[in-house]
């Protein structure tokens, strides 16, 4: 074979391998920006579009990593960071306020191929909590760090701390004042009753991403400011592995958003994966069962995003809306807020 | 029917109902006081007996509640409190020391019939952490509270705080000094490597209880001081619903003890229940699979106690020993430290 024929043959085999690989190695990403009672009539089209633009930017950030052969780990981190940096969503900038008018941030990440996981809860001065969750996973001997200790670990690892006020937004501050007004109660029993009736929007809002990369590895990441007006250093589902975040290559990757207490008690993320793994359900069936048949009857409002090792995506929710987007190597892109749009 | 015949008939039916109920309503409790590399040769028989006496006192405390028709919730709380109050076990008095020479305590409880759950992490001044976990479940709007916030909730609920030094014991203080000596490292990578090789006894030790009551309800509870020399407000598996504690009436109740990071990543307690629920496995098979086939190959040392709705008990572990005891209405009582004794 002469040199030009050899070049042609090499080129051809490269093309064939590449196209075969493209067929054999699907990749996909899905993201969410929280679920809740989003009222379409009070949500001007231009504002809806602004939210959708941010969702698109986030899903694109992750997709780009995957398309270039990067890891699902990096893809979910990059996607979540776009959402943390946006004031629209309850994570990073735009996080809700605690009862003490501060922001306490939670985040977690899990990798499907080795089930490594990292989580932080109650940090106040970490600009992108998902990065610190990843740092805990990669460079500590622990899975979960909290509060001041998590920030001390960040300092040791060379992080620059930011002032808690960088997460401030006027609309979240107003939401806290409304929540406090609604929650005026003379005792704990009355407080519990009022909390039960509090609009679900005060109790939820989280961002997250799940991805499958070309190497067949799944990852999930979740980040949140938690519940408006939360007290007593409450920990929700977002930093709980198995509740708000879960990934294992032989079933699926899940990130949840909703009324966290229910998602912890019903072990939501891991239960969806268990139904896939042990019952052979599709992620669509498994996720819909948990969201609609398990959670809804007991009052557990929210939704999940799920991806499996074939690149299938499911994004069910039992609220009026869920900010969400997905993009996969099969070409399908979705960016939606309500059921159908 | 005259009066004496009526009395006889009523007495007979009461006896018949009672004996039928006794047959139809089994009840059972199992407890653990931690798993680890317990060295039989360095463990004098009289000391072994002292440990076994405390295990017996704990299992009896819970069993008595069940025998009198009390709830599995009360049974696991009473059993765990005996272990928290004993200096032998790593929970309450006798809890290990953190890197900063304090005690940070975690606990959780879950009920199988309504999947209510409560958990606290990083509390320093609560004498019986399991009581506060139960308080969170019953009288807060949250599932999980942490650190200072959890203590503020306790104060609001009328708890008397204790000084952190009430948990001090000389043998745990010496263990901290040994751990610090072994963990001297010049950087984080070396620290991680040394931590990997650190004897498992420094990483585990927890107490817990699981119970089935006469009403057919399951409950699980876990309490711990966590890992010796822990830093950065580390959270282990004990307060994580799904990892260290899980209960649902249609599968089982589980309390775990071991190297917590693995138990979080592998969602141990909930995974055992999922195998029972979705694969139809016995608790013995499900628990053994997770402890021996899933955890051991990846280096996840520890054990679990499990009870199901028929009163069956499983207590597998993959370490040299696990302090454990069980007692059921069928009459069987076990109090063991090593595999067979």
Instruction: Write down the pLDDT at residue A8.
Output: 62
Enumerate the β-bridge partners of residue B28: B212, B328
Instruction: Write down the pLDDT at residue B4.
Output: 61
Chain B residues in contact with A279 by the CB 8 A cut-off are 278
Tokens of B17: 């109902």
Question: Residue B267 and residue A267: Cβ atoms within 8 Å?
Answer: yes
Chain A touched by B246 (CB under 8 Å): yes
Instruction: Write down the pLDDT at residue B20.
Output: 47
Strand order in the sheet with A302-308: A245-247, A252-258, A302-308, A313-314
Residue in A116, A119, A278 nearest the CB of B275: A278
Other C-beta atoms lying within 10 Å of the C-beta of residue B94: 23
Chain B touched by A302 (CB under 8 Å): no
A·B CB contacts under 8 A: 161
Residue A121, C-beta contacts closer than 8 angstroms, at least 6 positions apart: A104, A106, A144, A145, A146, A147, A150, A235, A239, B146, B235
Which of B104, B135, B142 to probe by mutation at the A interface, max A CB count within 10 Å?
B142
Q: What gap in Å lies between CA A50 and CA B10, rounded to an integer?
A: 75
Instruction: Write down the pLDDT at residue A182.
Output: 83
Q: What gap in Å lies between CA A78 and CA B108, rounded to an integer?
A: 34
Give the chain A residue nearest B242 (alpha carbons): A267
Q: What gap in Å lies between CA A11 and CA A17, rounded to an integer?
A: 10
pLDDT > 70 in chain B, percent: 92
Chain B residues in contact with A150 by the CB 8 A cut-off are 232-233
Instruction: Write down the pLDDT at residue B106.
Output: 97
Instruction: Write down the pLDDT at residue B39.
Output: 81
Residue in B146, B149, B270 nearest the CB of A242: B270
Q: How confident is the model at residue B115 (pLDDT cuts 50, 70, 90)?
A: very high
Chain A residues in contact with B231 by the CB 8 A cut-off are 149, 152-153
Question: Residue A230 and residue B195: Cβ atoms within 8 Å?
Answer: no
Instruction: Write down the pLDDT at residue A52.
Output: 97
Compute the average pLDDT of residues B306-322: 97
Instruction: Write down the pLDDT at residue A99.
Output: 93
Chain A touched by B312 (CB under 8 Å): no
Return residues 23-82 of B near A (CB < 8 Å): none
Helix (H, G, I), strand (E, B) or coil at B182: helix
Prediction pTM value: 0.92
Chain A touched by B289 (CB under 8 Å): no
- Among A244, A192, A125, A254, CA closest to B137: A192
Which of B150, B185, B235, B271 to probe by mutation at the A interface, max A CB count within 10 Å?
B235
Q: What gap in Å lies between CA B98 and CA A248, rounded to an integer?
A: 32
**CA of residue A15 relative to chain centroid, distance:** 36
Chain B residues in contact with A290 by the CB 8 A cut-off are none
- Among A237, A228, A187, A210, CA closest to A327: A210
Residue in B196, B230, B241 nearest the CB of A265: B241
Instruction: Write down the pLDDT at residue B22.
Output: 47
Q: What gap in Å lies between CA B261 and CA A16, rounded to an integer?
A: 44
Question: Residue A241 and residue B115: Cβ atoms within 8 Å?
Answer: no
Residue A279, C-beta contacts closer than 8 angstroms, at least 6 positions apart: A286, B278
Chain A touched by B116 (CB under 8 Å): yes
Helix (H, G, I), strand (E, B) or coil at B307: strand
Cα R_g (chain B), whole angstroms = 21
Question: Residue B147 and residue A144: Cβ atoms within 8 Å?
Answer: no
Q: Does residue B1 or residue B64 have the better pLDDT? A: B64
Kindly give the residue spans of alpha helices, DSSP state H, lying in B43-159. 45-67, 72-84, 129-139, 147-156
**CA of residue A94 relative to chain centroid, distance:** 15
Which of A104, A120, A141 to probe by mutation at the B interface, max B CB count within 10 Å?
A141
Task: Of A188-192, A337-341, B24-28, B79-83, give the lowest mean pLDDT range.
Answer: A188-192
Kindly give the parts of chain A with pLDDT less than 50: 1, 17, 20-22
Which CATH class, in words, describes the domain spanning B27-332?
alpha beta
Enumerate the β-bridge partners of residue B106: B224
Chain B touched by A270 (CB under 8 Å): yes
Characterize B9-33 residue by residue with b for buried, 16 or more Cβ atoms within 10 angstroms of its Cβ, and e for exposed: eeeeeeeeeeeeeeeeebbbbbbbb
Tokens of A49: 């579009």
Chain A touched by B266 (CB under 8 Å): yes
Task: Of B81-85, B100-104, B178-182, B299-303, give the lowest mean pLDDT range.
Answer: B178-182
Q: How confident is the model at residue B245 (pLDDT cuts 50, 70, 90)?
A: very high
Chain B residues in contact with A147 by the CB 8 A cut-off are 122, 146-147, 233
Characterize B104-116 residue by residue with b for buried, 16 or more Cβ atoms within 10 angstroms of its Cβ, and e for exposed: bbbbbbbbbbebb
Strand order in the sheet with A234-235: A234-235, B144-146, B117-123, B105-111, B218-224, B207-212, B28-36, B321-328, B333-336
Chain A touched by B165 (CB under 8 Å): no
Residue in B115, B264, B271 nearest the CB of A143: B264
Question: Cα A315–A318–A323 angle (5° rounding)?
Answer: 50
DSSP B100: T
Enumerate the β-bridge partners of residue B31: B209, B325
Compute the average pLDDT of residues B232-255: 97
Helix (H, G, I), strand (E, B) or coil at B331: coil
Helix (H, G, I), strand (E, B) or coil at A317: strand
Residue range B189-229, pLDDT digits in tens: 787 877 777 777 776 779 999 999 999 999 999 999 999 99
Active-site amino acid positions of B = 206
The ipTM, to two decimals, is 0.91
Chain A residues in contact with B146 by the CB 8 A cut-off are 121-122, 146-147, 233-235
Confirm if A80 and A130 have CB atoms less than 8 A apart.
Answer: yes
Kindly give the residue spans of alpha helices, DSSP state H, lying in A207-288. 260-265, 268-279, 283-288
State yes or no: is A121 an active-site residue: no
């Amino acid at each position: 074979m002469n040199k030009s024929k050899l070049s042609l043959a090499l080129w051809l085999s490269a093309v064939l391998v590449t196209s075969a690989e493209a067929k054999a190695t699907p990749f996909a990403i899905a993201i969410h920006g929280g679920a809740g009672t989003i009222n379409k009539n009070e949500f001007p089209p231009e504002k809806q579009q602004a939210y959708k633009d941010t969702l698109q930017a986030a899903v694109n950030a992750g997709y780009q990593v995957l398309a270039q052969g990067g890891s699902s780990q990096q893809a979910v981190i990059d996607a979540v960071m776009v959402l943390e940096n946006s004031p629209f969503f309850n994570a990073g900038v735009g996080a809700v306020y605690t009862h003490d008018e501060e922001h306490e941030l939670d985040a977690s990440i899990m990798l499907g191929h080795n089930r490594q996981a990292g989580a932080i809860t109650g940090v106040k001065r970490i600009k992108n909590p998902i990065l610190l969750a990843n740092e805990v996973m990669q460079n500590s001997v622990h899975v979960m760090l909290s509060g001041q200790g998590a920030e001390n670990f960040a300092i040791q690892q060379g992080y620059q701390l930011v002032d808690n006020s960088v997460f401030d937004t006027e609309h979240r501050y107003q939401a806290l004042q409304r929540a406090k007004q609604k929650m005026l109660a003379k005792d704990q029993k009355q407080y519990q009753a009022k909390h039960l009736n509090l609009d679900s929007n005060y109790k939820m809002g989280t961002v997250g991403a799940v991805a499958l990369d070309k190497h067949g590895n799944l990852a999930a990441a979740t980040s949140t400011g938690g519940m408006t007006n939360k007290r007593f250093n409450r920990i929700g589902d977002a930093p709980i592995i198995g509740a708000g975040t879960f990934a294992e290559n032989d079933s699926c990757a899940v990130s949840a958003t909703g009324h966290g207490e229910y998602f912890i008690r019903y072990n939501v993320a891991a239960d969806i994966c268990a139904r896939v793994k042990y019952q052979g359900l599709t992620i669509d069936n498994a996720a819909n069962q948990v969201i609609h048949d398990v959670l809804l009857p007991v009052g557990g409002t929210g939704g999940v995003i799920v991806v499996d090792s074939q690149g299938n995506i499911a994004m069910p929710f039992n609220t009026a809306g869920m900010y969400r987007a997905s993009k996969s190597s099969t070409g399908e892109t979705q960016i939606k807020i309500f059921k159908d749009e």
